[in-house]
Amino acid sequence: MPFKIAIIRAGLTGLLLARLLNQADKGIEFEIFDSASTLGDSKDYILNVYRRNGKVALKIAGVWDAFFNAARWDGDALTISDKNLFKYYSHGPSKPGSVFAGAEIGKNKLREVLCDGLPEKSLEPEDASHQSDG
């Protein structure tokens, strides 16, 4: 029997699930409900996507190229020096694009990357706040 999935909260987790369902191409219908009137809230900050799992998920979700282009890949470069800039230790960034490399991306930018290409009808922001009232 065909069924439709309701995804509550258009955070990174909800949007990634939407991408995975879309990517699976099994005709599974879904709709995202969010209490905000627009997707991409005002609280933006930089996320460190350092762990392998997050990058593998983005690959499976089919957004790797967009993520690669939108992310900064030099965030895991490290230099330890004294106040005169005498270097005790230094290493450059890992190879950009490697699943082991550190990547940094704005949270709202990542939401944009995940939203791009989703069926428009699944993305209508709606006031879902009543759903959390019990």
Ligand X SMILES: Cc1cc2nc3c(=O)[nH]c(=O)nc-3n(C[C@H](O)[C@H](O)[C@H](O)COP(=O)(O)OP(=O)(O)OC[C@H]3O[C@@H](n4cnc5c(N)ncnc54)[C@H](O)[C@@H]3O)c2cc1C
User: Is residue 128 part of the contact set for ligand X (CB under 6 A)?
Assistant: yes
Residues with Cβ within 8 Å of 134's Cβ and at least 6 positions away in sequence, in order, are none
- Which one of 21-29, 30-38, 66-74, 89-97 is the stretch in contact with ligand X (CB under 6 A)? 30-38
Task: Quote the tokens at residue 10.
Answer: 């258009």
Which residues are within 8 A (CB) of 38 and not within 5 positions of it... i.e. 6 or more apart? 125
Kindly tell me which residue out of 22, 31, 41, 108 binds ligand X, with binding defined by CB under 6 A: 41
Region from 19-27, 64-72, 83-91, 126-134 binding ligand X, contact rule CB under 6 A: 126-134
The label of the residue with tokens 């069924």 reads 3
First and final C-alpha spacing in the chain: 28
Contact between 130 and 72 (Cβ < 8 Å): no
Does position 14 bind ligand X by CB under 6 A? yes
**Shortest CB 39 distance to ligand X, Å:** 7
> Residue numbers of the site for ligand X (CB under 6 A)?
8-14, 33-36, 41, 45, 47-48, 107, 128-129, 132
